[in-house]
Amino acid sequence: MTLHIDLQAIVANWTALAARAPGARAAAVVKADAYGLGAAKVAPALYQAGARDFFVALASEGRALRPHLPDDARINILSGHMEGADLAGLVPVLNSPEQFFRDRAMRPGKPFAVQLDTGMNRLGIEPGEWSAIRAEVLAAKPDFIMSHLACADEPDHPANAAQLSAFRAMTEDCNVPRSLSATGGILLGPDYHFDLVRPGIGLYGALPFADGQPVARLSLPVIQTRTVQPGEFVGYSATWTADAPRRIATVAAGYADGILRSISSSGISLYAAGTACPVVGRVSMDLITADVTGLADVPAELDLICPEQPVDRVAEFAGTIGYEILTSLGHRYDRTYR
Ligand SMILES: *Cc1c(COP(=O)(O)O)cnc(C)c1O
């Protein structure tokens, strides 16, 4: 089971997204192990390409990443300063007055950033709270102030403009670097760019960055093949029955590896050098079955994610988004880097 990851494509996507926001510095979001692709490899490649600002969700992720990056790389922690967290060498993005006061008490003089809530109601200091502590926060000199857009993947959604104007109103005269946009916000245009942009999914070759290069290829080894006769079924619950003699390949990977069970009977295929081999029967924990009758020769491996069937296409079959497909890819794959 091999997950081939093209680091050059990740770097090219970062460079392309940075070029869409020419007035801003481009960070790199590498939370959840760089969306499942391996932060210890992805982050240093982006550092080499010029990235100096990185974002992860948890302090534990930041601590794991810290040894892989030079000291001048800033690793920002989106969950902020949680009680008891070890934040040495990390920059917490403080999300509430409680986190701000905790952080200043525990880490006086150490770098921090602030997140404001502009309408998503998930993380961030609320407008009323901000009015109350703003002067004190600014006096402590945050590295930057950020917020996050809820609907940036829908350019016409009215929440985008509403959040933009709320962010402006809360930060207009702060004289601190500002950050509002992830991948989707970058594509909304210059009004949304401010001083720092935070692309994540677009680096990894998935929507909403439609112009990104593909990054991942997932190749699954064939364990055995067999011919089934008309009337014979394949897999758990006998959900698929052959209507003619069919050649079936069983490959080593299943829902324990992030190949969601919901792709069963969805019309999805595995690919042999460009030829589609429909997945038949249920996806089980460690195994998938595909109809390879159309192949003259069955190769040693069949691909689930490949140029013919990119991450977002797999996500459509599974009824989810590319983010969930990538971050679900498990630990049993050999991750190889190019
Ligand atoms: C995950 C995340 C990002 C990156 O978002 P993408 O849509 O993957 O580009 C940026 N900012 C915050 C606060 C996030 O949680």
Domain ranges in the chain are 7-204, 216-337
DSSP run (H or E) holding 188: helix 183-188
**Atom 1 of ligand 1 has which residue's CA nearest to it?**
200
User: In whole numbers, what is the pLDDT of the chain averaged over residues?
Assistant: 98
Within 6 A (CB) of ligand 1 lie: 29, 31, 78, 148, 182-184, 198-202
Digit-coded pLDDT (tens) for 252-268: 999 999 999 999 999 99
Q: Is 216-337 in the same CATH topology as 7-204?
A: no
Q: Does domain 7-204 have CATH number 2.40.70.10?
A: no
Atom of ligand 1 nearest to the CA of 115: 13
Digit-coded pLDDT (tens) for 129-155: 999 999 999 999 999 999 999 999 999
Digit-coded pLDDT (tens) for 214-243: 999 999 999 999 999 999 999 999 999 999
Digit-coded pLDDT (tens) for 21-56: 999 999 999 999 999 999 999 999 999 999 999 999
- Residues 93-117: b if buried by 16+ CB within 10 A, e if exposed: bbbbbebbebbbeeeeeebbbbbbb
Q: What is the pTM of this model?
A: 0.97
Beta strands per DSSP E along 105-144: 113-115
Digit-coded pLDDT (tens) for 283-294: 999 999 999 999
Q: Which of 13, 14, 29 to mutate to test the pocket of ligand 1 (most atoms within 8 A of CB)?
A: 29
List the CATH code of the domain at 216-337. 2.40.37.10
CA 199 to centroid of ligand 1, rounded, Å: 6
pLDDT recorded at residue 273: 94
Give yes or no: 31 in active site.
yes
Q: pLDDT > 70: what percent of the chain? A: 100
Candidate list 35, 41, 47, 236, residue with the active-site label = 236
Please count the residues of the chain: 338
Give yes or no: 110 in active site.
no
